Amino acid sequence: MALNLDLLLRPAVLAPTLSLLAFFIYNFFFTGIKYPNIPIIGAKKTDYFPLLQATYRNTANWIQAIETADTLYPNIPVQLMQTDFTTPGPDPYLADNPVHHHIITSTLTQQTPNFIPEIVDQIEWAFEKNWGRRKGMERTAINRVFVGKKISRNQEYLDLASGYARAVFLAAVLIRPFWRPLRPLVAPIITIPVKRITRRWNQILVPEIKQRLDEWDTTHQRRGEDAEKINWGLEERNDFLQWLIAQGKELDDPYMYKPETLAGRLTLLNFAGIHTSSIAIVLVIMDLVYGKKEYIDELREISTVLAEFDGKWCKRALAKMIKPDSTMRESQRYNSVIVVGTNRMVVAEEGIVTTSGVRIPKDCQIAVPSHVVLHDEGIYEGAGEFKPFRFVEERLDEKVEYVKRAGKAWATTSNEFLGFGQGRNACPGRFFAATEVRLVEGVGKGKPEVKWFAHATVPDLKACIRVKRREFVREGK
């Protein structure tokens, strides 16, 4: 008995025991329903821990949860069981203060057409280097724009970029089910892979950043303090890293142009950009391979359009490729990568009241059931079928006013198309992403089951498609 008591009193045993005991006491005696007027999907009357048990049920089958919500409560908000979407990373301040969003919505969007030749060059290089290998091309394409040609062809850097995106997502999913007071205890262990990747990432990027900062200081000391001549660093280099440096200098905040801060912002950009692009590319390829053969034949218009521009990829050439654009938009609608989207947090002290009369208190996170909207037969005829040219006819109909036609382009959002979100907080980089993905598809050219991971979907990682390489239209050919 004494031996058992000594064992129980050991810190390694006592600490988790007391934590679990505190957890049960807290749930039994001190917690109530935080939002009593809002139904909680997945909870049952017989549950001892309804919130916790509903969390696991909904995480295991989000499609069923969201369809149940839409059927039982079609006109009122539903509380999501994921109230903490914090991203483990090099510095929480970076995610909470995304000043780089301004660069994405302004400079990146404006500069995207100018990057088309460089992106194509990078994609062709990636095809030559990685043909026959299981290496992603989207990560090298976006990093050509993020950090320039030299680093974007560093294989270790590219592997770290992909690894970081995977590690952060997995860590977030593993941390979220833990009781909030326990998260600070388990997070340091779960995020060890993230920290290792970040450390090596900084070893590669920080020397480059320091060199650029030295170049910036030297150049602008010669120019004096004339802010108009700074021009966001476009005269020195033209990539996202240089824009970040210019932004930090313009804000006159040493933290903003600290090498580790700039490297951290690039990790977040890769986290946001790599897997969203790669999933979109893989899904549309699978949709086409397991669709009608005529679909692929009609997409051969890429060759015809390029021939009109002497085999050169440019903004005007992409704009004329309406069928590939419609195909990407339809694939995003059909596959509905996320079940819920446009997540918003209520910040008004008094909360908000919906048009149906439901009061939503402050700090409650609400979202739109994207999957249900994108598969609504009332909006999309034959919503359960992949129709790649669904949006082509309306875009070509000159009787329809231009604004409505333009609204059917892939990167355009609406209340009926939530692939990139909606409103002022819609995906800021969607125009760049749409350009990049279409270029990868254009340069590169029974459906495997899509796998759901919590509230998001990923393509079947075991599916394999055989592709025959062919000559493409090039300048001078």
Contact 230, 220 (CB under 8 A): yes
pLDDT tens for 233-277 read 445 578 999 999 999 888 888 888 899 989 988 988 888 888 778
| pLDDT value of position 211 | 92
Q: Contacts from 334-337 at CB under 8 Å and sequence distance 24+? A: 334/287, 334/374, 334/385, 334/386, 335/283, 335/287, 335/450, 335/457, 336/370, 336/371, 336/374, 336/375, 336/419, 336/457, 337/276, 337/279, 337/280, 337/283, 337/419, 337/456, 337/457
Q: Which residues pair with 353 in a beta bridge?
A: 359
What pLDDT score was predicted for residue 151?
93
What b/e string do you get for 450-460 counting C-beta neighbours within 10 Å, with b at 16 or more? Answer: beeebbbbbbe
89, two tokens? 């990373």
Q: Taking the model in full, what pTM does it have?
A: 0.72
Between the alpha carbon of residue 361 and those of residues 35, 54, 217, the distances in Å are 7, 21, 49
Can you give the three-state secondary structure of 145-192, one letter per residue? HHHCHHHHCCHHHHHHHHHHHHHHHHHHHHHCCCCHHHHHHHHHHHCH
- Give tens-digit pLDDT for 351-398: 888 888 888 888 887 888 888 888 888 889 998 899 999 998 888 877
Q: What is the pLDDT of residue 88?
A: 36
State the chain's mean pLDDT as an integer: 76
Torsions phi, psi for 320 (to 5 deg): -85, -15
Q: Cβ atoms within 10 A of the Cβ of 233, count?
A: 24
Is the pLDDT reported for residue 225 higher than 60?
Answer: no
Q: Which of 461, 370, 366 is nearest to 419 (CA)?
A: 370
| Residue 475 clears pLDDT 50, i.e. is over it | no
Q: What is the pLDDT of residues 152-194, one digit of tens each?
A: 999 999 999 888 888 887 887 788 777 777 778 888 888 888 8
Residue 457's DSSP bridge partners are 452
What one-character DSSP code corresponds to residue 421?
A: B
Q: What is the mean pLDDT of residues 89-110?
A: 71
Q: How confident is the model at residue 141 (pLDDT cuts 50, 70, 90)?
A: confident
> Residue 420: which of 264, 271, 272, 269 has the closest Cα?
272
Contact 172, 85 (CB under 8 A): yes
The predicted pLDDT at position 84 comes to 38
pLDDT in tens, 297-337: 888 778 888 888 888 888 898 888 889 899 999 998 988 77
Q: Which pLDDT score, from 0 to 100, does residue 212 have?
A: 92
User: 48-99, pLDDT tens digit by residue?
Assistant: 667 677 777 776 666 666 666 666 665 555 444 332 333 434 455 665 666 6
Determine the pLDDT at residue 204: 94
Among 48, 56, 57, which Cα is nearest to 25's?
Answer: 48
296 vs 317: CA distance, rounded Å: 19
The pLDDT tens digits of the residues spanning 202-217 come to 999 999 999 999 988 8
What pLDDT shows up at residue 369? 80
- The whole-number pLDDT of residue 359 equals 84
The least confident of 24-28, 319-323, 338-342 is: 24-28
- Residue 357 gets the label, from left (phi > 0), alpha (psi -120 to 50) or beta, of left
